[in-house]
């Protein structure tokens, strides 16, 4: 028997096929060599380009590079955050063959800067043509360890022992976030409703009008066009969101558009560049049922946008759609807006919102305190409400900051801490306001003798002034009812209660009285 096993018989190897496969493999090998050659050639070209790029940037100093990186970051970081974290807090301090070392002011700044590590690295590569490892160091912090660290490693190791200043900076950041909400690409905030809008004598008319619109929008309602105006931070935007939320709940079939004047303008410009301006007008006049534009005064001196807005307004108004606008001024007071637009903005109901009175400010603080799950005693609430008078956002922001300070620094929220963190120290040594000082301010405002205010006189003018003085004595000075009664002619407990209740009820229906009380309080 032959020792040779007939492999060919069982495997049925086709010799011609085997030769063909061998040829293909040889061809593939040749192609692979060509590809490798091409790749090496391309790599050489890229290296030469990068070398040329580096050479062309050799004259860039560290300061120049820092400036270029900051210019790039300025285009992608929100303005308020850029000023807080980057401007004056960040620079390229050293560039080695492999590593770029950046210096930041505080650990707190470092924690924010780390979010943009990829952008910084890419920007540096664009400047030099070379990829560098990044290292971040904090001014005044000892970094003797020669081993390069990543941003996250620096952030973790350095944050183990933050200083008091770092903690205060972090608390300040929360306050900045609250005070400067992002309004670009505005979306309806489901948390802003009529239920959590605090109503007082200075905003009750605006709230009632907004509520009426939400219940019955458009031509069938009372106010197919509504214009709300006030200083910043008094609740206009909250009312816009409240209207949007209630209309959505009551009339889900209606299309709602809540937009800032700036975004309205940018959208128009973008479509104009594409020669699609007709689509812009069509969107608002045919697809939108409720148009709400926040900060309409931003259209000033924008003649092209005003022309398109004019056509949008006319057509939507003719079709009976709902229009709502907010501004920091009355229509006729906005400079740079054409007369025909001012006229149309005044076609509907124009309502102003004044700064809240003391009682409303305290109610706002209590509501915010609940939403933050924060406990603050009445003395602190009264202190904040008496000092921060003209801006609800600032009023609420004070609690946002105090909560952050309390949690980060593990301290109780007491009067001294509040005065220090919110900078509520007065120039007059933080003096307390007395009943007598309030009485003098009231007498001066109404131009009546102080003696008449404290007398038994029952004339209408003096009685009203006396009641206001009693109300402010209780709300601002925190005087007890007995003390108030003794000062104002020896009146009994029930007379003081009657005066306080009467003023509280009247300011709910009489905005002019609320303005009077605010004016006197400001003079204090």
**Closest-CA residue to 184 (of 77, 335, 311, 72):** 77
For residues 422 and 388, give the distance between their C-alpha atoms in angstroms, rounded to a whole number.
10
Statement: residue 410 has pLDDT above 60? yes
pLDDT at position 272, please? Answer: 86
Question: What confidence tens digit (pLDDT) does each residue in 476-494 have?
Answer: 777 888 889 999 988 888 8
Class of domain 435-523: mainly alpha
Residue % of the chain over a pLDDT of 70: 78
CATH 1.10.8.60 fits 358-421, yes or no: yes
pLDDT tier at 116, thresholds 50, 70, 90: confident
Helix, strand, or coil here: 519?
helix
Q: Across all residues in the chain, what is the average pLDDT?
A: 79
pLDDT at position 80, please? Answer: 64
Determine which of 41-50, 117-126, 349-358, 437-446 has the lowest per-residue pLDDT on average.
41-50
Report CA 402 to chain centroid distance, whole Å.
18
Statement: residue 306 has pLDDT above 90? yes
What residues contact 81, with CB distance under 8 A and at least 6 apart?
112, 176
pTM of the model: 0.54
Question: What confidence tens digit (pLDDT) does each residue in 13-37 have?
Answer: 444 444 444 444 445 444 545 444 4
CATH H-level, domain 204-352: superfamily = P-loop containing nucleotide triphosphate hydrolases (3.40.50.300)
**Closest-CA residue to 280 (of 298, 255, 301, 307):** 307
Statement: residue 403 has pLDDT above 50? yes
- Torsion on CA atoms 394, 400, 401, 402, rounded to nearest 10: 110
CB 490 within 8 A of CB 412: no
What residues are paired with 133 via a beta bridge?
A: 99
pLDDT at position 402, please? Answer: 85
pLDDT at position 469, please? Answer: 92
Go through the chain and tell me how many residues it has.
Answer: 524
CATH 1.25.10.10 fits 62-142+149-159, yes or no: no
Strand stretches in 255-388, DSSP E: 256-260, 290-294, 322-327, 349-352
The more confident residue out of 50 and 81 is 81
For residues 470 and 503, give the distance between their C-alpha atoms in angstroms, rounded to a whole number.
9
What are the phi and psi torsion angles at 349 (to 5°)?
Answer: -85, 130
CB 132 within 8 A of CB 99: yes
Neighbour-count burial for 208-234, b at 16+ CB within 10 Å, e otherwise: ebbbbbbebbbeeeebbbbbbbbeebb
In a 10 Å sphere around its CB, with 0-12 CB exposed, 13-18 middle and 19+ buried, how is residue 308 labelled?
buried
Q: Domain residues of the chain, as ranges?
A: 11-44, 62-142+149-159, 204-352, 358-421, 435-523
pLDDT at position 463, please? Answer: 92
């Amino acid at each position: 028997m032959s020792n040779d096993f007939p492999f060919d018989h069982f495997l049925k190897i086709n010799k011609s096929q085997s030769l063909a496969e061998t040829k293909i493999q040889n061809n593939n090998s040749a192609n692979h060599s060509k590809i490798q050659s091409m790749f090496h050639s391309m790599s050489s070209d890229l290296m030469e380009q990068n070398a040329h790029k580096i050479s062309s940037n050799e004259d860039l100093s560290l300061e120049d590079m820092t400036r270029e990186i900051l210019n790039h970051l300025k285009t992608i970081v929100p303005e308020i955050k850029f000023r807080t974290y980057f401007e004056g807090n960040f620079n390229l301090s050293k560039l080695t063959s492999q590593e770029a070392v950046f210096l930041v002011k505080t650990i707190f700044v470092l924690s924010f800067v780390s979010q943009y590590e990829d952008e910084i690295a890419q920007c540096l590569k664009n400047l030099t043509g070379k990829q560098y490892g990044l290292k971040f160091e904090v001014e005044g912090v000892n970094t003797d360890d020669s081993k390069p660290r990543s941003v996250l490693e620096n952030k973790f190791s350095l944050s183990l022992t933050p200083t008091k200043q770092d903690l205060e900076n972090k608390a300040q950041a929360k306050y900045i976030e609250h005070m400067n909400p992002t309004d670009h690409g505005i979306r309806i905030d489901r948390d802003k409703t009529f239920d959590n809008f605090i109503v007082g004598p200075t905003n009750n008319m605006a709230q009632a009008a907004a509520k009426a619109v939400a219940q019955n929008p458009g031509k069938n309602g009372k106010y197919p066009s509504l214009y709300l105006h006030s200083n910043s931070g008094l609740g206009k935007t909250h009312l816009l969101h409240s209207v949007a939320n209630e209309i959505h709940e009551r009339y889900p079939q209606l299309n709602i558009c809540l937009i800032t004047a700036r975004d309205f303008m940018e959208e128009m410009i973008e479509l104009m560049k594409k020669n699609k301006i007709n689509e812009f007008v069509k969107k608002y006049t045919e697809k939108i049922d409720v148009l709400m534009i926040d900060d309409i005064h931003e259209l000033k001196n924008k003649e092209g946008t005003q022309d398109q807005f004019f056509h949008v307004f006319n057509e939507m108004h003719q079709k009976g759609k709902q229009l709502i606008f907010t501004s920091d001024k009355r229509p006729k007071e906005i400079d740079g807006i054409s007369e025909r637009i001012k006229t149309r903005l005044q076609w509907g109901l124009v309502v102003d919102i004044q700064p809240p009175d003391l009682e409303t400010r305290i109610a706002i603080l209590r509501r915010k305190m609940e939403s933050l799950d924060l406990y603050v005693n009445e003395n602190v609430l009264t202190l904040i409400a008496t000092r921060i008078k003209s801006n609800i956002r600032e009023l609420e922001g004070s609690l946002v900051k105090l909560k952050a300070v309390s949690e980060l620094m593990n301290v109780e929220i007491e009067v001294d801490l509040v005065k220090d963190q919110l900078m509520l120290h007065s120039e007059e040594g933080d003096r307390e306001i007395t009943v007598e000082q309030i009485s003098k301010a009231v007498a001066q405002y109404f131009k009546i003798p102080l003696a008449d205010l404290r007398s038994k006189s029952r004339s209408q003018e003096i009685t009203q002034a006396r009641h206001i003085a009693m109300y402010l004595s209780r709300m601002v000075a925190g005087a007890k009812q007995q003390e108030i009664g003794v000062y104002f002619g020896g009146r009994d407990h029930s007379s003081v209660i009657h005066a306080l209740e009467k003023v509280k009820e009247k300011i709910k229906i009489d905005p002019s009285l609320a303005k009077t009380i605010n004016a006197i309080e400001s003079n204090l």
